[in-house]
Structure 1
């Protein structure tokens, strides 16, 4: 069985929800505190020297990291969780999935630990990252055309990303006021019966 090493509410929640949606069994190991010296960090480092969550140990003992790579792995088994191959929606799905990971994710890396990157001006870095992140979400809102999910009636793994990331800064009220389509997609995912246990364990609902 796959083991997901993560922290409730962190990026590992995306992997948990994607695996649950795809009906792929896994077990969760909480490594809360991994970002500081201690036993949790040591546990994670034995598998992933970069000490990141999520880190997945697969059935064969190999290690998988990077949420987009996890999504690709899941889609090998559940291609129905992305738009059909050869469609314009499929191309947009890949574009937005990679865009989220490449553009939005780094703003959390820098804003959550600004002292690592700008010791002389950590607050300025944090504030700049948050402003930039908001501008990215506004752009994403302009790309979302369908309802109830990003690609209409079909639920995809992109919707899982949006649901989890809405719980991170700048929080629900900002999204509801400034990106109502994104907020509505997250609300729709939050109603899915098969995800309720994982959503609650990650403090998403």
Structure 2
């Protein structure tokens, strides 16, 4: 069985939703507080020296990190959670998954811990990053089909990112006003009965 090391509402929620959507057996080890010195950080660091969530320990004992890598691992076993190969939707899925993880996802790390990167001007760094993030999210919104999911009528692993990220800065109200397709996708995912338990446990309902 897979063990998911994570914290409620953090990026590990994305991977947990992916696992639940794929109906893959897993258990959660809550390491809330891992981002500061203490026993939870020490515990996670034994598995993942970078001390980040999500961290997955697979059934064979190997460790996997990075949400995009986890998504690709899940797709190897559950290819229906992405559009069919050879279709325009598949190309868009691949493009948006990598773009989202490379261009938007890192901004949360920088803005959440600005004193690490700009100790003399942490608020200025946060303000600049949030403006950049908003510009990227506006572009993303234009790429989504929202019919009712990101890429059409079938849910994909990309939708797991959207429903979680809607709760992060700039916040649900901003998304509703400026990225209506993004918000519509998140609302559709929240209606999936098989995901409600995970969403509730992560404070996403």
2:146, 2:184 within 8 Å by CA — same for their partners in 1?
Answer: no
Equivalence for 1:54: 54
1:1-205 matches, cutoff 5 A: 1-205=1-205
Secondary structure of the structure 2 residue equivalent to 1:49: coil
SS of the equivalent of 1:115 reads helix
TM-score (norm 1): 0.99
Q: Could you report, residue by residue, the CA deviation over 1:121-172 in whole angstroms, capped at 9, with x for unpaired residues?
A: 0000011111111101000011113410111111100011111111111111
Residues in 1 aligned to 2:145 and 2:23: alpha-carbon distance in whole angstroms: 28
Aligned-CA RMSD value: 0.6
| Offset at residue 88 of structure 1 (A) | 1.1
Q: Report the Cα distance in structure 2 between the residues aligned to 1:102 and 1:28, rounded to whole angstroms.
A: 26
SS at match of 1:173: helix
Per-residue CA distance 1:12-31 (angstroms, 9 max, x = gap): 00010000000001000111
After TM superposition, the score normalised by the length of structure 2 is: 0.99
Q: How many residues align?
A: 205
Q: Give unmatched runs, 5+ long, in structure 2.
A: none
Unpaired runs of at least 5, structure 1: none
